[in-house]
């Protein structure tokens, strides 16, 4: 993180990804819904349960409408209109022979209503649980797919994308999609069912009154569309601001020693406050739009209800409509209005989800720059011959690093590549591992162009130990086993012995089951390097690449690691990248890089004896 005096931070809204333009509002949401396809049977069952539950709701309203007449008008034959009510009523008349028809009818209606309520409660539990289960499955699948896709991206992608932003997309943006769980899939299904069902039954009762009551419906649609567009943008900007805050936090925690050492806590806090306030401001705007949408629709719906009551009352007074029919009509209209309000809530969540989904799909739509060729092959065995043929490489927006590098390493040969910082030593390793592609030229292993070898096969035969060894937050056993997850305990111990790590591991409190902490915090630099070497050796690679593995070590740790390296190099091709020339004296051959080209080649004694660039470097270090 920057320790310079913080200036007012501006929210950077990405407008384009490698995958292309930002997705449209509908595209992102409908692509998200496509993730429900594997669970279509559960979704279908959920739809069926919701349909039955809402059907029971309409059934009860219908009963109320058709049974009010016999309750009010004694001259009407009791129990007409529904066989279930008549059946229950006959049972009550048998139990209570002195009760009047209207009393038994009222009791029958109440008993059926209680039964319907129990059935709706059971169905509601079933479809709510099922819908939420499906939604959680989709979130699980989406997060896994996003993580899997990120694993296919080359290191260059992570160099251009801030790690904190990527963390935000995997964690925050996918979590935002769980809003689908909050509203429940049942709302997406039941609201339209209730709207169309209520509209149909209103038409059955009175088409003219229905037309009058729904005259304000186009205004609702326009309001949903207008506020929805603004809400989608506000939600997207909130997710971007949240991602930038996550990135800042990650950088701050990683550089906490640096911040404290330079007394930069105030500047760091100022940067955090600015990013945190941006999240607050954009989130508040989204909340304002979301909370405005639902009351506005409710206000329009209430006005419609009042208009319907007034005009419906005139219909009743004129004898065009029965009182119980007006009551049922208003119940249907209220159901339609409340369902429309639920639909606006769904629309608000849809816009928020679309904003988060855009950022997720921007990552998923970014194609890896390095992939397997259609005719790529697996190499069952590798002898270890490595050849670079006129290899050139230029980093994006940078100078050319390698300028026609050519060399051949024989199987079992130990070759060191040396030179000052920035001449391309590590770049050679990155190209060999296919973390990058050469601008020109060819790289071959055993005569096979590495672009014709499957990435998994290529990397399986190369053991890599970097200058800054990476250790996961787990046990020592788990760290070494990354080289071969199927390895036995005996093989793990053997690799540790070969890497000169077994002795110090045995002295730890829990041996191989000792927890190393985040980034190997509980281990020394030298111990982490030997763990990394054991991990590489567990693969039993034909080619071992060691990139500046002793550059950060003290004399004692360097001696232990150097002893392990001498043991590990036996019987395999070794490429040793080194800045300390004292560590390459025993190499079979030394390649000297200068200005992106190999300028000298030979053994240590030969190069020191002659008047060479290598000799001048060696003397300077001595």
pLDDT digits (tens, 9 = 90+) for 418-441: 988 888 888 999 899 898 899 999
Least confident piece of the model among 58-72, 233-247, 315-329, 594-608: 58-72
Distance CA 586, CA 566 (A): 9
pLDDT digits 0-9 by tens, 391-414: 999 887 777 889 999 999 999 899
pLDDT digits 0-9 by tens, 560-569: 777 777 777 7
Q: Is the pLDDT of residue 389 over 60?
A: yes
Region 577-593: what's the mean pLDDT? 84
Matching residue, tokens 């760290």: 479
Question: In the chain, what are the domain boundaries?
Answer: 22-364, 386-621
Whose CA is closest to 444, among 436, 435, 453? Answer: 453
Which one-letter DSSP state was computed for residue 542? S
List, in order, residues 6 or more apart from 211 with CB less than 8 Å away: none
146 and 169 Cβ atoms separated by less than 8 Å: yes
For residue 470, what pLDDT is reported?
77
3-state secondary structure 29-50: HHHHHHHHHHHHHHHHHHHHHH
Least confident piece of the model among 24-33, 104-113, 192-201: 24-33
For residue 576, the cross-strand partners are 416, 546
245 and 271 Cβ atoms separated by less than 8 Å: no
Q: Is the pLDDT of residue 359 over 50?
A: yes
- The band of 57, judged by pLDDT with boundaries at 50, 70 and 90, is confident
For residue 46, what pLDDT is reported?
83
Q: Is the pLDDT of residue 122 over 80?
A: yes
Which one-letter DSSP state was computed for residue 4? S
Region 554-565: what's the mean pLDDT? 72
For residue 451, what pLDDT is reported?
92
Distance CA 418, CA 582 (A): 11
For residue 450, what pLDDT is reported?
92
pTM of the model: 0.67
How many whole angstroms from its chain centre is CA 404?
Answer: 41
List, in order, residues 6 or more apart from 56 with CB less than 8 Å away: 116, 119, 120, 123
Least confident piece of the model among 4-13, 236-245, 531-540: 4-13
Whose CA is closest to 432, among 393, 479, 471, 490? Answer: 393
- The band of 147, judged by pLDDT with boundaries at 50, 70 and 90, is confident
Region 102-121: what's the mean pLDDT? 77
405 and 192 Cβ atoms separated by less than 8 Å: no
- The band of 443, judged by pLDDT with boundaries at 50, 70 and 90, is very high
Q: Is the pLDDT of residue 93 over 60?
A: yes
- The band of 498, judged by pLDDT with boundaries at 50, 70 and 90, is confident
Q: Note the CATH architecture for domain 386-621.
A: 3-Layer(aba) Sandwich (3.40)
Least confident piece of the model among 56-60, 72-76, 248-252, 552-556: 72-76
Distance CA 569, CA 571 (A): 6
For residue 17, what pLDDT is reported?
40
For residue 194, what pLDDT is reported?
80
For residue 390, what pLDDT is reported?
94
Q: What percentage of the chain carries pLDDT values higher than 70?
A: 75
Least confident piece of the model among 62-76, 257-271, 469-483: 62-76
What is the CATH code of the structural domain delimited by 22-364?
1.20.1560.10
- The band of 620, judged by pLDDT with boundaries at 50, 70 and 90, is confident
Least confident piece of the model among 29-43, 69-83, 440-454: 69-83
209 and 325 Cβ atoms separated by less than 8 Å: no
For residue 417, what pLDDT is reported?
92
Whose CA is closest to 127, among 180, 183, 185? Answer: 185
pLDDT digits 0-9 by tens, 333-354: 777 777 776 676 666 666 667 7
Q: What SS3 class is residue 570?
A: coil
Average confidence score pLDDT of the chain:
77
Q: What SS3 class is residue 377?
A: strand
User: 447: which 2 tokens?
Assistant: 């005569």
pLDDT digits 0-9 by tens, 213-255: 777 666 666 666 666 667 667 777 777 777 777 777 766 666 6
Q: What SS3 class is residue 512?
A: helix
- The band of 284, judged by pLDDT with boundaries at 50, 70 and 90, is confident
Region 133-146: what's the mean pLDDT? 82
598 and 389 Cβ atoms separated by less than 8 Å: no
Phi, psi (rounded to 5 degrees) for 429: -65, -45
Region 273-277: what's the mean pLDDT? 81
Most confident of 170-174, 302-306, 370-374: 370-374
Whose CA is closest to 329, among 27, 102, 62? Answer: 62
Between residues 25 and 196, the one the model is more confident about: 196
Region 16-40: what's the mean pLDDT? 62
């Amino acid at each position: 993180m920057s320790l310079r005096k913080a200036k007012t931070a501006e929210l950077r809204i990405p407008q384009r990804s490698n995958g292309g333009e930002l997705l449209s509002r509908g595209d992102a949401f409908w692509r998200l819904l496509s993730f429900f396809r594997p669970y279509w049977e559960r979704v279908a069952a959920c739809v069926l349960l919701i349909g039955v539950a809402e059907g029971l709701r309409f059934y009860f309203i219908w009963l109320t409408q058709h049974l009010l007449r016999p309750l009010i008008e004694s001259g009407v034959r009791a129990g007409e209109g529904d066989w279930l009510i008549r059946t229950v009523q006959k049972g009550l008349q048998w139990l209570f022979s002195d009760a009047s028809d209207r009393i038994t009818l009222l009791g029958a209606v109440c008993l059926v209503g209680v039964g319907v309520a129990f059935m709706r409660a059971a169905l509601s539990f079933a479809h709510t649980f099922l819908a939420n289960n499906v939604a959680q499955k989709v979130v699980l699948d989406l997060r896994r797919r996003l993580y899997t896709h990120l694993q296919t991206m080359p290191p260059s992608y992570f160099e251009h994308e801030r790690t904190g932003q990527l963390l935000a997309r995997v964690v925050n943006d996918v979590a935002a999609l769980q809003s689908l769980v909050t509203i429940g899939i049942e709302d997406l299904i039941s609201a339209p069912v209730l709207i169309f069902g209520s509209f149909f039954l209103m038409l059955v009762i009175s088409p003219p009154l229905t037309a009058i009551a729904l005259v304000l419906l186009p205004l609702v649609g326009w309001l949903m569309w207008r506020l929805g567009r603004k809400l989608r943008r506000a939600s997207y900007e909130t997710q971007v601001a949240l991602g930038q805050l996550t990135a800042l936090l990650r950088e701050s925690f990683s550089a906490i020693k640096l911040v404290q050492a330079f007394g930069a806590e105030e500047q760091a806090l100022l940067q955090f406050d600015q990013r945190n306030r941006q999240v607050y401001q954009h989130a508040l705007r989204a909340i304002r739009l979301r909370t405005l949408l639902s009351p506005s629709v409710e206000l329009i719906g209430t006005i419609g209800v009042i208009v319907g009551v007034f005009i419906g009352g005139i219909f009743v007074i004129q004898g065009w409509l029965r009182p119980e029919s007006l009551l049922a009509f208003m119940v249907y209209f209220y159901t339609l209005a409340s369902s429309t309000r639920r639909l606006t809530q769904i629309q608000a969540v849809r816009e928020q989800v679309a904003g988060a989904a855009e950022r997720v799909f921007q990552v998923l739509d970014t194609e890896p720059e390095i992939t397997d060729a259609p005719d790529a092959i697996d190499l069952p065995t590798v002898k270890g011959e490595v050849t670079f043929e006129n290899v050139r490489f230029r980093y994006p927006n940078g100078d050319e690093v390698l300028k026609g590098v050519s060399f051949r390493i024989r199987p079992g040969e130990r070759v060191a590549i040396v030179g000052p910082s920035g001449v391309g030593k590590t770049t050679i390793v990155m190209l060999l591992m296919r973390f990058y592609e050469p601008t020109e030229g060819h790289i071959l292993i055993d005569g096979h162009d590495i672009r014709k070898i499957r990435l998994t096969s290529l990397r399986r035969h190369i053991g890599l130990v970097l200058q800054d060894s990476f250790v996961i937050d787990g046990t020592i056993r788990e760290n070494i086993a990354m080289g071969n997850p199927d390895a036995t305990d005996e093989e793990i111990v053997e690799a540790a012995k070969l890497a000169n790590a077994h002795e110090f591991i045995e002295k730890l409190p829990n041996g191989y089951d000792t927890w190393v902490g985040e980034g190997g915090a509980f281990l020394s630099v030298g111990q982490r390097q030997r763990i990394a070497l054991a991990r590489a050796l567990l693969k039993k690679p034909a080619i071992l690449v060691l990139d500046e593995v002793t550059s950060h070590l003290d004399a004692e740790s360097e001696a232990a690691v150097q002893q392990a390296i001498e043991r590990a190099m036996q019987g395999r091709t070794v490429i040793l990248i080194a800045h300390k020339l004292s560590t390459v004296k025993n190499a079979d051959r030394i390649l000297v890089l200068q200005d992106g080209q190999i300028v000298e080649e030979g053994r240590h004694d030969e190069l020191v004896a002659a008047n060479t660039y290598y000799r001048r470097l060696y003397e300077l270090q001595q």
